[in-house]
């Protein structure tokens, strides 16, 4: 499949203008919040399906009743507007009940990663000031293994599918679900959240960074509402649509993007605890899923499944996400049919973003006219990890084809939410993400930490994260572009690319951790051939590690810190290691460090 002719700039801009108009509906001072949004949707779509989970089907009216019961129970227990309560639960209806029940009280919800324990779990509580946690029973082992501060209480939300031990249940002071089931199901009084306005925090969502401690991004009520309205307009979402939600609800991709859009549209949500490549298409067909949120690795995983008869016969027609490379995009539509794919770029805390509205294969969006956007690309020196400046000390804009950091001008206007940088619960972390005096004295811009480029037609392409790009042989190498080029190697399930130091050499040499599909054997000669055919010699990995599994964040982003630290150490790594030998036209097994001396770097 080839790209269609370039869409006129004016046509793309008209679509972006409609998004902008949708985003202007909400103000910082408004009293319309998440609670009003769900109650409004319930009034309009009462009998329509809201949640699917396994064999469970709940209408908007039924879901709202369950949410209300949590709100009434929480109020009886002393929760009040302005309180902060953490939530740790996997993707199931209880997550929605508790989250939106808290919203009806004006309580800010803290979404905790369901995989963390120990210091990371403690960090999540101290970073947000949460003294109360609603814990899904499936997550109790993490809490039982973590010495929580004495002033932190836990309330239980049971899980019939994954019951905990009596010792683990003892962590919780009470069963919130049991009390909720005995509570009123009517909408709680609006004055329970008196004083709550659009700019107040609705949720704290931790960034899913692959390095360092996560930061708690502030998502206001207005920001959540804007996201739903903008994406509803973007994808023309209808009440008849069904979203497939397998990305964790504790992350913005699901709760902020999918959740807000579905509720704004009166559409339904199919919840699955975790992604399953073997059940994906069965779920789509069973529930007539029409829209799916993705990350790049998910699409790769689905392409590794065996080809089956009739696999193009399905209801899925729209996909929204990030990380779908051109090569993967082409394979996807060739195999599963035509889709509207809304590949985008942004971040949970971003004050700017891009999105592909033209189905331009591989692009993460377009800026037809710069004056209509607060996004800019500025030149960045990857060698010295700093921005390039002009003779006046200001940053320099990138020209078409140049790689630079994406930054967003911070707009602080009374009652306007668009363009604000809401930041994090940590003031210091917020300040570290702000660039000042960028193009003129006194201006302020959000620093994304992402490297992008754009072409002559205004289309943008994601390159890499700052820090992931490395330099070798006096050339910059993008880990993302290397992974995209090699991701369809036969039998490959996942690939993680990173740079490693080599004694006596400047820069970092490329290394890749490969996870092979079950039953597939790694062919070093075939991998050498495809790597050198598709990549410049300096970019093709010099080292390979055949790993048994992929190390990912809960949101299916690859972790590479530990891999980078271990590098190619034959003393500590028991997995197969290979090194590139261009003179032999293959990769050879690396069994001892002294073999490195055989290669002329």
Q: What confidence category does residue 382 fall into, taking pLDDT thresholds of 50, 70 and 90?
A: confident
State residue 596's pLDDT score. Answer: 60
State residue 13's pLDDT score. Answer: 98
Question: What mean pLDDT do residues 31-47 have?
Answer: 98
Phi–psi pair at 57, nearest 5 degrees: -130, 120
Within a domain: residue 500? yes
Residue 594 has pLDDT above 70, yes or no: no
Q: What percent of the chain has pLDDT over 70?
A: 95
Residue 599 has pLDDT above 70, yes or no: no
d(CA 87, CA 114): 9
Worst-scoring range by mean pLDDT, 93-107, 291-305, 389-403, 429-443? 291-305
Residue 601 has pLDDT above 60, yes or no: no
Kindly report, residue by residue over 494-511, the tens digit of the pLDDT.
899 999 988 877 788 999
Phi–psi pair at 354, nearest 5 degrees: -135, 155
State residue 295's pLDDT score. Answer: 86
pLDDT, the chain, mean: 92
d(CA 559, CA 315): 33
Within a domain: residue 398? no
Number of helical (H) and strand (E) elements in the chain, helices listed first: 18, 29
State residue 214's pLDDT score. Answer: 87
State residue 210's pLDDT score. Answer: 47
Within a domain: residue 489? yes
- The strand pairing partners of 135, in sequence order, are 88, 156
Question: What mean pLDDT do residues 351-372 have?
Answer: 97
Question: What mean pLDDT do residues 562-572 have?
Answer: 84
Kindly report, residue by residue over 324-353, the tens digit of the pLDDT.
989 899 999 999 999 999 999 999 999 999
The domain total for the chain is 2
d(CA 434, CA 452): 18
Within a domain: residue 126? yes
The residue among 265, 298, 332 that closes a domain is 265
State residue 87's pLDDT score. Answer: 98
Within a domain: residue 279? no
DSSP of 154-218, one letter per residue? EEEE--SSSPPPHHHHTT-SEEHHHHHHTS--SPPPGGGGTT--TTSEEEEEE---SSSS--EEE
Within a domain: residue 331? no
Q: What confidence category does residue 129 fall into, taking pLDDT thresholds of 50, 70 and 90?
A: very high
Worst-scoring range by mean pLDDT, 151-165, 343-357, 567-581? 567-581
Range of the domain at 542: 473-598
Within a domain: residue 231? yes
More confident residue, 484 or 10: 10
State residue 600's pLDDT score. Answer: 44
**CATH number of the domain residue 510 falls in:** 3.30.300.30
State residue 263's pLDDT score. Answer: 98
Q: What confidence category does residue 300 fall into, taking pLDDT thresholds of 50, 70 and 90?
A: confident
Token digits of residue 314: 């399905």
State residue 138's pLDDT score. Answer: 97
Q: What confidence category does residue 55 fall into, taking pLDDT thresholds of 50, 70 and 90?
A: very high
Residue 453 has pLDDT above 60, yes or no: yes
Question: What mean pLDDT do residues 572-588 have?
Answer: 92
Q: What confidence category does residue 3 fall into, taking pLDDT thresholds of 50, 70 and 90?
A: low
State residue 553's pLDDT score. Answer: 64
Worst-scoring range by mean pLDDT, 107-116, 299-308, 412-421? 299-308
Residue 406, SS3? strand
Q: Identify the residue whose tokens are 């769900």.
A: 38
Within a domain: residue 369? no
Q: What confidence category does residue 471 fall into, taking pLDDT thresholds of 50, 70 and 90?
A: confident
**CATH number of the domain residue 233 falls in:** 3.40.50.980
Kindly report, residue by residue over 159-197, the tens digit of the pLDDT.
999 999 999 999 999 999 999 999 999 999 999 999 999
Q: Which among 139, 132, 171 is positioned nearest to 273, based on CA atoms? A: 139
Residue 5 has pLDDT above 50, yes or no: yes
């Amino acid at each position: 499949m080839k790209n269609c002719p370039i869409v006129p700039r004016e046509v793309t801009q008209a679509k972006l203008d409609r998004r902008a108009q949708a985003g202007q509906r909400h103000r910082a001072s408004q009293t319309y919040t998440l609670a009003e949004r769900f109650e409004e949707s319930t009034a309009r779509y009462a009998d329509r399906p809201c949640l699917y989970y396994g064999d469970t089907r709940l209408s908007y009216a039924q879901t709202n009743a369950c949410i209300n019961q949590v709100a009434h129970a929480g109020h009886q227990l002393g929760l009040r507007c302005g309180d902060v309560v953490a939530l740790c639960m996997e993707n199931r209806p209880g997550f929605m009940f508790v989250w939106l029940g808290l919203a009806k009280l004006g309580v800010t919800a803290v979404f905790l990663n369901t995989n963390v324990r120990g210091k990371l779990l403690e960090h999540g509580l101290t970073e947000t000031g949460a003294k109360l946690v609603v814990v899904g029973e499936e997550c109790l082992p993490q809490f039982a293994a973590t010495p929580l501060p004495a002033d932190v209480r836990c309330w239980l939300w049971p899980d019939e599918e994954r019951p905990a031990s009596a010792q683990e249940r003892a962590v919780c002071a009470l069963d919130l679900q049991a009390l909720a089931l005995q509570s009123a199901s009517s909408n709680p009084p609006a004055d329970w959240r008196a004083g709550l306005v659009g700019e107040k925090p609705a949720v704290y969502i931790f960034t899913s960074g692959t390095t360092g401690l996560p930061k708690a991004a502030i998502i206001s009520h207005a920001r959540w509402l804007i996201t739903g309205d903008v994406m509803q307009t973007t994808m023309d979402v209808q009440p008849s649509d069904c979203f497939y939600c397998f990305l964790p609800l504790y992350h913005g991709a699901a709760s902020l993007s999918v959740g807000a859009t579905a509720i704004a549209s009166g559409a339904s949500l199919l919840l699955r605890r975790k992604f399953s490549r073997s059940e994906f298409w069965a779920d789509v067909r069973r529930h007539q899923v029409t829209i799916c949120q993705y990350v790049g690795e998910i699409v790769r995983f689905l392409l590794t499944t065996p080809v089956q008869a009739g696999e193009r016969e399905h209801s899925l027609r729209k996909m929204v996400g990030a990380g779908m490379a051109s090569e993967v995009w082409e394979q996807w539509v060739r195999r599963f049919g035509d889709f509207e794919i809304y590949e985008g770029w942004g971040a949970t805390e971003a004050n700017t973003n891009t999105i592909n509205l033209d189905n331009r294969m591989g692009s993460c969006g377009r800026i037809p006219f710069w004056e209509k956007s607060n996004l800019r690309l500025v030149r960045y020196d990857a060698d010295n990890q700093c921005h390039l400046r002009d003779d006046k000390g200001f940053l320099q804009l990138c020209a078409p084809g140049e790689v630079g950091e994406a930054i967003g001008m911070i707009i602080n206007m009374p009652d306007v939410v668009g363009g604000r940088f809401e930041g994090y619960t940590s003031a210091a972390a917020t300040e570290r993400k702000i660039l000042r005096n960028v193009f003129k004295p006194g201006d302020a811009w959000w620093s994304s930490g992402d490297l992008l480029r754009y072409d002559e037609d205004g289309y943008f392409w994601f390159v890499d994260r700052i820090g992931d790009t490395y330099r070798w042989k006096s050339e910059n190498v993008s880990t993302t572009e290397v992974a995209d080029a090699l991701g369809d190697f036969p039998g490959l399930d996942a690939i993680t690319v990173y740079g490693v130091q080599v004694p006596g050499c400047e820069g970092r040499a490329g290394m890749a951790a490969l996870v092979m599909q079950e039953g597939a054997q790694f062919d070093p000669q075939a991998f050498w051939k495809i790597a050198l055919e598709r990549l410049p010699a300096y970019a093709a990995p010099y080292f390979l590690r055949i790993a048994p599994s992929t190390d990912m964040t809960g949101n299916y982003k690859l972790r590479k810190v530990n891999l980078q630290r271990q590098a190619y150490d034959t003393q500590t790594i028991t997995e197969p290691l290979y090194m590139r030998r261009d003179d032999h036209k293959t990769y050879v097994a690396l069994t001892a460090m002294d073999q490195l001396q055989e290669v002329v770097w």
